[in-house]
């Protein structure tokens, strides 16, 4: 009987030692600032947005947009290593080395104790949000892409604040029927650093081609008018002798170059004044002797346009006439 009690005492002692050891191990690994940060990073690595947001806590401000906090924008997160943990007062700064989307990076997160479990296991939370704040401006368009996903900005040409997970890599751009913006890659490391991104939409080749066709069609139509000063057109020319022996014939020798630039008015673009050359051919009656001679000259003219849209796809050009030669 005594041997049984000895065995029970030994078993109980081993259980106590195992329990104490488990508490110590858990307090040194799972229930630590580094363990909490690793849990957040593990949620990002498995693309668990709900878990990552629950650990991140409430948004820092109500005015920031949460559109970018979506699984489609998360990249693969590899090789996470806790580099160091610094303590200042109640705040622990956990520095992490990682690899994401083929890029090596370092991020620092601030963590503080927020409670405990059973009075033995401390629980942790972010002292400063792990979400980065991005000031995003979309110029000359309302929509933009982030990692290939389309979003609509609340207002054009004005900065808007967005939240994004850190660490992260986001490629911003714009691609539409008539506009494009060069991709801008934003690498999000430590969340405390504010970032600004400009997505500047510009006319693409399709837009330029459509405007060039309309410019040429407009000038070709002007050239069909059999008068010295075609109505509503940028060119015209008088002759010394007022009597004509034939109808004036115009042709376009050189079309003006087309460069499309944005204006300060949303949805409005401009083709700045550029120089073209027209040719006038007409037979003229000499006032003094009544003979007929051929008049042939080239006329320089200046022409620009205001470009607007009707609906989503119809391009409308309004001429800005310069002085004809």
pLDDT digits (tens, 9 = 90+) for 276-287: 999 999 999 988
- For residue 7, is it within any domain? no
191: domain CATH number is 2.60.40
| Token pair belonging to 185 | 């890659």
In the three-class reduction of DSSP (H, G, I as helix; E, B as strand; rest coil), residue 275 is classed as: strand
- For residue 196, is it within any domain? yes
From 106, 128, 150, the end of a domain falls on 128
- For residue 187, is it within any domain? yes
Whether residues 169 and 65 fall in one domain: no
Whether residues 17 and 120 fall in one domain: yes
How far is the CA of 7 from the CAs of 11, 16, 18, 20, in angstroms? 6, 14, 16, 20
- For residue 5, is it within any domain? no
- For residue 3, is it within any domain? no
Residue 183's pLDDT is: 97
Whether residues 158 and 231 fall in one domain: no
Residues spanned by the domain of 243: 205-321
> How many independent structural domains does the chain possess?
3
Residue 5's pLDDT is: 53
Task: Give the chain's residues under pLDDT 50.
Answer: 8-9, 11-30, 324-325
From 86, 102, 128, the end of a domain falls on 128
Q: Nearest Cα to 144, choosing from 131, 135, 156, 153? A: 153
Whether residues 215 and 313 fall in one domain: yes
Whether residues 213 and 266 fall in one domain: yes
Residue 31's pLDDT is: 61
Instruction: Collect all residues with Cβ–Cβ distance below 8 Å to 286 and sequence separation of at least 6.
Output: 241, 292, 293
- For residue 168, is it within any domain? yes
Whether residues 217 and 315 fall in one domain: yes
Residue 194's pLDDT is: 81
Whether residues 184 and 142 fall in one domain: yes
- For residue 92, is it within any domain? yes
Q: Nearest Cα to 285, choosing from 277, 295, 276? A: 295
- For residue 62, is it within any domain? yes
């Amino acid at each position: 009987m005594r041997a049984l009690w000895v065995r029970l005492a030994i078993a109980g002692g081993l259980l106590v030692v195992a329990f104490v050891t488990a508490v110590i191990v858990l307090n040194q690994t799972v229930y630590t600032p580094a363990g909490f940060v690793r849990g957040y990073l593990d949620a990002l690595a498995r693309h668990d947005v709900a878990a990552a947001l629950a650990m991140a806590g409430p948004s820092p401000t109500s005015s920031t947009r949460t559109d970018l906090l979506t699984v489609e924008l998360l990249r693969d997160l590899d090789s996470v290593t806790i580099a160091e943990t610094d303590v200042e007062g109640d705040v622990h700064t956990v520095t992490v080395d990682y690899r994401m989307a083929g890029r090596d990076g370092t991020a620092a997160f601030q963590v503080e104790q927020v409670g405990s479990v059973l009075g033995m296991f401390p629980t942790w939370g972010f002292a400063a949000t792990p979400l980065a704040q991005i000031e995003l401006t979309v110029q000359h368009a309302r929509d933009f892409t982030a990692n290939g996903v389309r979003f609509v900005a609340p207002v054009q040409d004005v900065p808007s604040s967005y939240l994004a997970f850190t660490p992260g890599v986001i490629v911003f751009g714009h691609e539409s029927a008539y506009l494009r913006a060069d991709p801008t890659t934003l690498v999000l490391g430590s969340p405390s650093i504010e970032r600004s991104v400009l997505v500047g939409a510009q006319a693409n080749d399709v837009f330029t081609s459509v405007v060039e066709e309309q410019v040429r069609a407009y000038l070709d139509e002007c050239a069909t008018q059999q008068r010295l000063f075609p109505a509503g057109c940028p060119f015209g020319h008088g002759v010394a002798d007022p009597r004509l022996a034939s109808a004036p014939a115009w042709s376009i020798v050189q079309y003006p170059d087309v460069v499309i630039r944005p204006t300060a008015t949303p949805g409005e673009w401009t083709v700045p004044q550029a120089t073209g050359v027209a040719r006038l051919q007409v037979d003229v009656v000499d006032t003094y002797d009544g003979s007929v001679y051929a008049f042939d000259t080239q006329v320089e003219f200046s022409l620009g346009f205001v470009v607007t849209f009707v609906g989503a796809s119809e391009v409308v050009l309004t001429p800005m006439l310069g002085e004809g030669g």
